[in-house]
Amino acid sequence: MPKAAPPPENLYLSAKEAAAELGVSLATLYAYVSRDMIRSEPVPDSRAKRYRAEDVRALKQRRVAGSGPTSPQFEGGRDALTAALNYGGAPVLDSAITLIADGKLHYRGSNAMALARSSSLEQVAALLWGCRDVQPFTRDAVPHMTPLLEKLAADLSDAPRIERCLSLLPLAGLDDPSVYNMTDRGLAATGARLLRFVASVIAGVAPSADPVHEVLARSLTFGDRRAAELIRAALVLCADHELNASAFTVRCVAGTGATLYAAVQAGICAAQGPRHGAFTSRVESFLTDIAHRQDIEDAVLNRLRNGDLVPGFGHPLYPDGDPRASTLLDLMRANHGDDPAFLRVQRIVNVMAEAGGVHPNIDFAVGALSVTLRMMPGTGLAIFVLGRTAGWIGHAIEQYRSGQMIRPRARYTGEAPK
């Protein structure tokens, strides 16, 4: 068979060419790749990577055009439709829950980093849900476990935590007699039971009215009080992040009139993808692998030199650094700063900052927390899912109150009708 023609030379850029085209460091380029904003592939017969020129130039055009509603890309047509669904595009939906602006994150006007230093996930959940005159997390707001649900939970005790949630949530929704109460009080009460149920499934214990971070700490870290405070902060920092993939999925499901249980289940399905919440597992694997190296700095630099991803660095919405990550790492430094695992984490953060001026994101911080506390692989995703459950419930409630069903239009690119 004849050999395939080689790809055009202008189809790809080297790492240095792509970074120069964008005017960013190599580390920032790799962060764009990790977020699937630029496609990369191996160079034949080499360890280096090459980058799709069209992706680089499309990203450059979006950055030059800007992200405001008066920019040329929002005048209409194909560019407007595409930009609205990517980082930096126009908001897809109105929401009063979370604001990301000027490198900061706010939950209903309150600084999320300040909340992480003092508030429980339950307190933040009530804030996200807009509970002004009602306290949803009462001693009575504990989900009831029927014999069938208890048996299924026991049968699934050896299954991964997230799969247990996905298996048990449909049955729990059927067993919740108030799930169709769509009043403000009813939704808040259902949300409280649902959050506590997810915490119990992840921890592998019976539901209780105890603070969810303590429930997790007892199960995952054998009651380390310092660990409980770090888990509490991580849950709060993961609670919401505006209209990300999982939150938008939740709103689509809630818009159909499905129950809170169904909406949260949809959010978990989206979050367990390796480009979203499960990215923390890639960080855990990386930190575990590099723990056996003495030359950590050289190992990281070699990855950068070869165009390989260092997972958990850079974020398109936080060019100067993810404040969620810096907050959680600061708290870890204060509590476990002399721990060998955390010292390795700090060395990686330092060399990434020095080599390319790029900073860790929340995926890295949560993965680092899991490894530093010697928790089982996959715990970072479990923490992310439990924290984000609070935000998902808030988005579902907001969507119910809007009375709207989300139905975007597709831009047809197929064959013309015959």
Percent of the chain with pLDDT over 70: 90
Closest CA relative to residue 49, chosen from 21, 22, 26: 26
> What residues does each domain of the chain span?
9-83, 112-410
9-83 folds as Multidrug-efflux Transporter Regulator; Chain: A; Domain 2 (1.10.1660)
81 CB neighbour count, 10 Å cutoff: 15
Judging by DSSP bridges, how do beta strands 104-107 and 98-101 pair with one another?
A: antiparallel
Question: Where is pLDDT greater, at 36 or 350?
Answer: 350
Contact residues for 182 (Cβ-Cβ < 8 A; gap 6+): 400
| Mean pLDDT, range 39-60, rounded to an integer | 86
pLDDT of residue 84: 43
Residue 36's pLDDT band, with cuts at 50, 70 and 90, is confident
CB 375 within 8 A of CB 267: no
Q: Which CATH architecture has domain 112-410?
A: Orthogonal Bundle (1.10)
pLDDT of residue 75: 31
Place of tokens 């509970």: 131
116 pLDDT exceeds 50? yes
CB 286 within 8 A of CB 311: yes
**Mean pLDDT, rounded, of the chain:** 88
Q: Which DSSP state fits 271?
A: H
60 pLDDT exceeds 60? yes
256 pLDDT exceeds 80? yes
What are the pLDDT digits (tens) for 388-418? 999 999 999 999 999 999 988 788 888 988 8
pLDDT of residue 258: 97
> What is the C-alpha separation between 363 and 369, in angstroms, rounded?
10
Q: pTM (2 decimals)?
A: 0.81
pLDDT of residue 9: 52
What are the pLDDT digits (tens) for 267-322? 999 999 998 999 999 999 999 999 988 899 999 999 888 888 899 999 989 989 99
Contact residues for 64 (Cβ-Cβ < 8 A; gap 6+): none
CB 110 within 8 A of CB 127: yes
Helix locations, 309-378, DSSP H: 323-336, 340-356, 362-372
Question: C-alpha distances in angstroms, 27 versus 30, 87, 113, 307?
Answer: 5, 19, 25, 9
pLDDT of residue 307: 83
pLDDT of residue 254: 97
What are the pLDDT digits (tens) for 352-384? 999 878 999 999 999 999 999 999 999 999 999
> What is the C-alpha separation between 316 and 313, in angstroms, rounded?
10
